[in-house]
Structures are given as C-alpha cells and as structure tokens.
Structure 1
Amino acid sequence: MPPPTTVGQDAEVPDQPAVIPLTEPAEGVPPVVDTPEALAAVVEAFRSGTGPVAVDAERASGYRYGQRTYLVQLRRAGAGTALVDPVPLPDLGALSSALTGVEWVLHAASQDLPGLVEQNMRPDAVFDTELAARLLGMERVGLAAVVAEVLGLGLAKEHSAVDWSTRPLPGEWLRYAALDVEVLLELRAELGRRLEEAGKAEWARQEFEAVRTAQPAPPRVDPWRRISGLHTLRDARRVAVARELWLLRDAEARRRDLSPGRVLPDAAIVAAAAALPTSLEQLVALRPFSGKATRRKAEQWFSAVQRALGLPDAALPSVRGPRGDGPPPPRSWADRDPAAAARLTAAREVITGLAEEHAVPVENLLQPDLLRRVCWSPPHPTDAASVHEALLTGGARPWQADLVAAPLAAAFADAAAA
C-alpha cells in the first residue's frame, strides 16, 4: 500500500479558482430615480434596451411593518442600471409596460414578486437564478455563493439586511444595490447553458412559470399562533394572554409602521403569558419587560393581560389550535394508519433516491406536503396513471409528476405487499 499523501513541499494541491471581488458597478452608481420626469426617462431607456432585464428589490424586513418594497433595481443591455425609489413613485406600471414580453431575471423571485406587484410591476416571463441553482444541485444557493461558484466573482452582501426605508439612502448601500443586478444577466446566461446541458431546461421553465403565476397566500387562520415559543404554553388561559398581547402588538406595529418584534418581542409575550401577572408591578418585574421602551408602554401591555384574564372559559382559545386540511403529523401515522405509515416510509426512500440520482434537492423534486397528502390519502387504484393525476391535482409540476409517479406507485405496491 502506498504511503498516505501529505501536504508538503512536494504534494500537489488542486488549484482553487480565484474569486475576483466586485467593488464598483461598471458605469458607476446611477442617481436614484425619484421624480416622474426621471422615471419617464428610465421607461424610455428600458423600452429601447435589448434582451432580458435583471430585476431586484430591497425591503426593510425587521424594521418596518409588512414586506413593502423600498428600492427597485433594474439593468438591461442598452439601458444600463436604474435605481428606482418606489416611495415617491408607488406606481411603476409604465416601467412594467415598457418591458412587455421581456424575460425578467431575479434571484429568489418568490420573495420579490409580491412587493413588485404592489408597484404594478408584473413580468411576462421569469428566470429565477436561485431556482436554477437548486435544480443544478448546487449546495449553496444564495446570490453571493452562486455568483462566486459560477462566475468567479465576489459579491459582498453586508448590506442585505439594512433598513432600506432609510432616506436618503447611503452611497454604499446604493453601490451594493447596483452590483446586485450587475451580475444577474451574465449569471442567467451561464445557468441557462448548464440547465440545457443537464437536460433540465424544461424543468426550470415549469418552475419559473409556477413562481410567476403563483397566487398570493390566503390570510392565515389565527396568525398569532406563529408566536415563537407559543408551544411552551400548556393551558388555554395562558394562550389567551399571548393572543391578546399579539393582537395589541400587531395593531400598534401597523399604526407605527414598525416590525412587530421591535414593538414587543415574542419572548416578552410568552414570558407574560407564562407568568400570568395580576398587577402592573408583577408585569414589569419580568425581565423582558424591564427595558425602558417596554416599561413606558407597560400599562398598555397589562391591559391586554387583564382582558385575557377576564375572559370566560368558553371564550378561551384552544391550546393546540384548529387542525388544517392536511394529514396529521407523520409521527402519529403508525398508530392511526399503519398502511399510510408504510407508504410514507417507502415513498421517502424513493424520493430521496431520485433526488440523489438527478442531483436535485428533495424538496424541489416534490413538495414534502404533497408527498404526505398522497401517502395519507392515495388515489384508487394506486397505479402510475392515478398517482400521476393525483400529483398534478395537488400542484406538482408536470416534470415532477412524470419523474416520480411510476416509482411512487411501485413503492405503494411494495408497501401494501409487505
């Protein structure tokens, strides 16, 4: 047996591709477009441009209420880069019309499109570089990571989580924003080529269209149940306190246009619900309520606690919350329906194997929720054609159903035989 290779003077070390940092946009940082006259000029420039258009949007998540867009960046051959401020220009429909029939290139389009729709910007076609990276089996799919791997360029992301509602926007932030769209068109070209080579171009087209045409999510039932740590509250009275505090916080956050967590952290809500304070003094003695800003509003928060404490038992919310229309948690399947549990185990093995074979993440090969639904309530008969139809009805893309229907049907048959 040859001796192990060690890294030393004579050892060969594979060359690591150098990453070239991007520090300045090719044409410099353009001025912010914040007047109707400047927007009209941008509209004409982008109407006259050629090829796809790179689009990005910046929000103020963690700072402001909701997911409003505070900057729109675009770049197109022949038009250059534009940074548009949607605060004084909330209707960008003219810009969208100038791009009719043009492919929009975005990274993680599902995050940006809802906010862009609020500005009346709706694409006719989309290329999502994040989804493309997922379908190509890349381990890291953030924009900076994909740009480094595919183009060998270093894209700094230190301003990704800043407060984009700040006005005026600092020059460094605008430079960052311009660079984000600087690379998208080149990235789209290379990822498109790789998808063609991998035989996944049609898969990508279907995924991109699903993102483009996705309908807004319906309002959540009992959105307050998303409080972090709510599961630690074991009785209805404490859950009621958490609900009242959440409702008051949400109204206050909306009124002040602040992120709810900046008005009152989830940890404070759960602490008050767990303690059930019966006096203002007991509330402010809790550590999450000891800060100056929280103490200043202590009477307001205590009023919510009092409302919950005064509710009759019949008005208390359930501890667990209403059941959705989906199957129960898989951990209970073995007791409730052993056959369904066997189908799920077999199906997961099949999907994992196919994902590895085709170098696609499991969740992109087939949505986990859809897999659970089909395993819990399979079609009858459970042949390939019936499974294929059930997957399409459940929201799978044709390429997904084509790839997994027959193996799933075989897995169901094996589980039934076992």
Structure 2
Amino acid sequence: MSDVVEEPEAGDEAPPLPVLTEPAEGVPDVITRESELDECAAAITEGFGPVALDAERASGHRYGQNAYLVQVRREGAGTWLIDPVTLPDLTPLDRAIGTGEWILHAATQDLACLADVGLRPRQIFDTELAARLLGLPRVGLAAVIEHYLGISLAKEHSAVDWSTRPLPEPWLRYAALDVEVLTEVRNLMGIDLATQGKSEWARQEFEALLDWRPAVKEDPWRRTSGLHKIRQPRVLATVRELWYERDRIARARDTSPGRVIPDTSLVDIALAAPSSPADLPRGHRAIQRSQRAWLDAVARAKALPDDDLPPASVRSDGPPPQRSWANRDPLAAERLTDTRERLGAFAQEHTIPIENVCSPDPLRRVIWTPPTEIAPEAFADALAAHGVRPWQREIVAPMIAEAFAAHPDG
C-alpha cells in the first residue's frame, strides 16, 4: 500500500486517522510524448483487473470543462499521469483498456472531458454512486476512502488551476493518490452491495452511465444570479445580451466567465441601461475594462423589437410547482404525498436516499398525468418513458398504484 503517516494524538481527543501521503511507487512523471503514451498503453494491456481513472479540469479558471490531466492506474501496470494538452488523442489508451471496467468517482463529472480525448467506457463502477446506493452518510472520495480503508485523503489541491504548466510536484502527488486505492475501495463496495442485495441496482445504474451525456442547457442566461429581481422584458433582454457578450469574451480569453465579470455586475448594468461610459455602474473594474463591449450589448437589447423580447418566465412541459397542487388538484397532491411516504419508508428500511429510488421529476409527472389504466404495469411503463430504471420501477410503480387505490377519483 501507499505510504501512510500516523499523525500524533492531540490531548484526549480521538486519534486522527492515518493520512495517505505518497503513492506506492512514488509520483510518476507526466507523459507528454506519443512514445510514452504507447508505453503506458502497453503496460495497461499487460495489467489486470479494473482500471481506475480520474481527470483534473480547470473549472473556475479556464473556459469550458477540458481535461488538463488524466490519471490511470491498473494492478500490474502502476499509475500513469498523462497531459491531454500535448496528447489530445488518447485512443491508444482506450484500445488498451478495451472492455475492461472503469472505476470512477462521480463519473458524470469526468465522462464528457474524457470522451473529448478519446476515452469511452464499456463498463463502469462509480464509487460515488455506489456510496449513495449503500446509504453512506458522506459520499465524497475522501469520505468513502475513510469509511472503507480507515485512512485520510488530503484534498487541498482540488480547486487549483490544473492548466498550470509545469504542474507542481505536490499537485501531481495529489492527482496520483486520487486513483491509488480506488480498486481496493471498489472491491469492498462490491461486497457491501452484494450483502445488501443491491448489486443489480448498481449494475443498472452503472450501465445507464454508459449512455450519459451532459444536458444541453436551453437559455443558459436564465441561470444568471439575481435574475429573479427582473420582470421587465427589455431588461431581461439586456441581461441576455450581456451574458452572451461575456461568454464571447471568456471564450476568446480562455477563462471562466465568472472571472471576466460576475453575475451581479451584469444585472447592475442591465438595470442601469447605460448609454455612455459615464452611465455605467461603478464597483467592479471589469465594467470599465470592457465598457465598450457592455455598452454595445445594451444597445443591441434596446434596438430589439418588442416581439423579440424574452418572456419573464418560460413555461415548463412538466406539471405545475408542487406547492400549487393542493389548490389545483387536491387528489393528485394526496396521491403524491402518499407515494412519497411509502418511498420514504422504503428508503429508510433499505438505507438509501429517497431520490436514488426515484427522482422527484418523473414521479411528479406520472402522478400529475397518470396513464389511462390505473395498474402497476401501466405506471411502470409511464415511469420508463421518463428514464426510470427497471429496478426502480419494480419498487415505485406498485406504490403509485396503491396511492391511487387509496385516493380514488370521485
């Protein structure tokens, strides 16, 4: 195992956990040449068992979610650190892994950026998702390692700018340790999943990850912090123009949009509706630095015809907000409450978060707009149309049917 340092006890407090400080084979050099990538691929091919992977991005520092370091480890092959900036095509590694199982923690955070460099899984074991299914109180990587191995994993470099070159040695040590014990943890979690009768649940959840893609955000500007203060269509249009202007600047600079100018300043500019530099709000230097860009964006919004102004809100294709159900359809509200109580009892009995048994959105949709036939099979089909897994449908569909039986029409 990797080097573990026993920290000294402090007074009468419980002794701190041993800290994982050093990879077993030391910190590997970062691969930057194709010949080294071929060597890595050959080693992974000769290794055995599942493959632990991780990726480090520069969220909050760079534009987008590109990978700036890829870590891979396999028993018999050791740990490899790869620079995907100088090696943007990692298909040799992908071929080496083949149909082997990937071990990831919080897979949806890394799958997209790994796919961008040619890495696509055929099997997945997600240790964060497994932790949720197992009902662990904390599901971060450090907490999961602590739970299973009784050692502490330092996370002090999690938010650094991974686009930095060269990467400092302490950061590389941190990155290597992220995959150091994933295989051991995965094996112990597999035992617990089997013991709790949740192996099939996990299999279906992991299989669904193979088809996961990031959701395409419609009208992403509507997520601007502070937008709730604004109801006037013309001011909303101004925020929209400012948001896209900031995005263009961030892309050109390859930096996070929030580092160009914060949301609060966008809203302040929109409310001020400036026509000249003197009209721009004060308080953030980015307003002055790119004042021509902001004024042009405001001018575009002012010039829009009324028909092109955005509505204050966008109608959802789903049911109304749950808080209005009691007034709009009291029977549906009773059925939803009944079903959630049944789900809550099941979740507590099986030590699993209720949202992992069934997400709130498909549950609300099916109860608000039920199938014609009020039967478990019909409810199962309706849930399936919203992406609910077979194991979840088997549990939830009878609960919905029972709730409808307990609260019939008329």
Q: Aligned ranges for residues 4-403 of structure 1 at < 5 Å?
A: 19-217=17-215, 219-283=216-280, 285-287=281-283, 289=284, 291=285, 293-320=286-313, 322-403=314-395
**Cα offset for 1:30?**
0.2
User: What letter corresponds to residue 273 of structure 1 in structure 2?
Assistant: A
Q: TM-score, normalised by structure 1?
A: 0.92
Which secondary structure state, in structure 2, belongs to the residue aligned with residue 306 of structure 1?
Answer: helix
Are 2:265 and 2:287, in contact at CA under 8 Å, matched by a contact in 1?
Answer: no
Give distance in 2, aligned partners of 1:216 and 1:295: 35
Are 2:374 and 2:401, in contact at CA under 8 Å, matched by a contact in 1?
Answer: yes
**Cα offset for 1:415?**
2.4
**Cα offset for 1:263?**
1.1
Are 2:112 and 2:213, in contact at CA under 8 Å, matched by a contact in 1?
Answer: no
Give distance in 1, aligned partners of 2:323 and 2:270: 29
Give distance in 2, aligned partners of 1:282 and 1:353: 58
**Cα offset for 1:294?**
3.2
**Cα offset for 1:336?**
2.6
Count matched residues: 399
Which secondary structure state, in structure 2, belongs to the residue aligned with residue 416 of structure 1?
Answer: coil
Are 1:245 and 1:269, in contact at CA under 8 Å, matched by a contact in 2?
Answer: yes
Deviations 1:165-210 (A, max 9, x none): 1111111100000000001011101111111111101111111111
Deviations 1:85-106 (A, max 9, x none): 1001111111011111211111
**Cα offset for 1:276?**
2.4
Deviations 1:277-336 (A, max 9, x none): 3432121x332x3x2x4312112212211221232322211111x323222211222333
Are 1:72 and 1:84, in contact at CA under 8 Å, matched by a contact in 2?
Answer: yes
Are 2:367 and 2:400, in contact at CA under 8 Å, matched by a contact in 1?
Answer: no
Are 1:271 and 1:286, in contact at CA under 8 Å, matched by a contact in 2?
Answer: no
Give distance in 2, aligned partners of 1:90 and 1:415: 58
Are 1:18 and 1:152, in contact at CA under 8 Å, matched by a contact in 2?
Answer: no
Which secondary structure state, in structure 1, belongs to the residue aligned with residue 344 of structure 2?
Answer: helix
Give distance in 1, aligned partners of 2:194 and 2:109: 25
**Cα offset for 1:416?**
2.4
**Cα offset for 1:251?**
1.1
Which secondary structure state, in structure 2, belongs to the residue aligned with residue 113 of structure 1?
Answer: helix
Q: Which runs of 5+ in 1 are unaligned?
A: 1-12
Give distance in 2, aligned partners of 1:84 and 1:137: 34
Give distance in 1, aligned partners of 2:217 and 2:99: 34
**Cα offset for 1:356?**
1.1
**Cα offset for 1:65?**
1.0
**Cα offset for 1:109?**
0.7
Are 1:34 and 1:89, in contact at CA under 8 Å, matched by a contact in 2?
Answer: yes
**Cα offset for 1:60?**
0.6
Supply the RMSD in Å over aligned alpha carbons.
1.7
Q: Which runs of 5+ in 2 are unaligned?
A: 1-11
Which secondary structure state, in structure 2, belongs to the residue aligned with residue 81 of structure 1?
Answer: strand
Which secondary structure state, in structure 1, belongs to the residue aligned with residue 26 of structure 2?
Answer: coil
Which secondary structure state, in structure 2, belongs to the residue aligned with residue 396 of structure 1?
Answer: coil
Give distance in 2, aligned partners of 1:139 and 1:16: 20
Are 1:340 and 1:376, in contact at CA under 8 Å, matched by a contact in 2?
Answer: yes
Identical columns (%):
55
**Cα offset for 1:17?**
7.9
**Cα offset for 1:145?**
0.8
Are 1:74 and 1:81, in contact at CA under 8 Å, matched by a contact in 2?
Answer: yes
Which piece of structure 1 moves more, 76-85 or 392-401? 392-401
Which secondary structure state, in structure 2, belongs to the residue aligned with residue 234 of structure 1?
Answer: coil
Moved over 4 A (4+): 15-18
Which secondary structure state, in structure 1, belongs to the residue aligned with residue 312 of structure 2?
Answer: coil
Which secondary structure state, in structure 1, belongs to the residue aligned with residue 56 of structure 2?
Answer: strand
**Cα offset for 1:16?**
5.9
Give distance in 2, aligned partners of 1:206 and 1:405: 17
Which piece of structure 1 moves more, 386-395 or 56-65? 386-395
Q: TM-score, normalised by structure 2?
A: 0.94
Give distance in 1, aligned partners of 2:339 and 2:103: 35
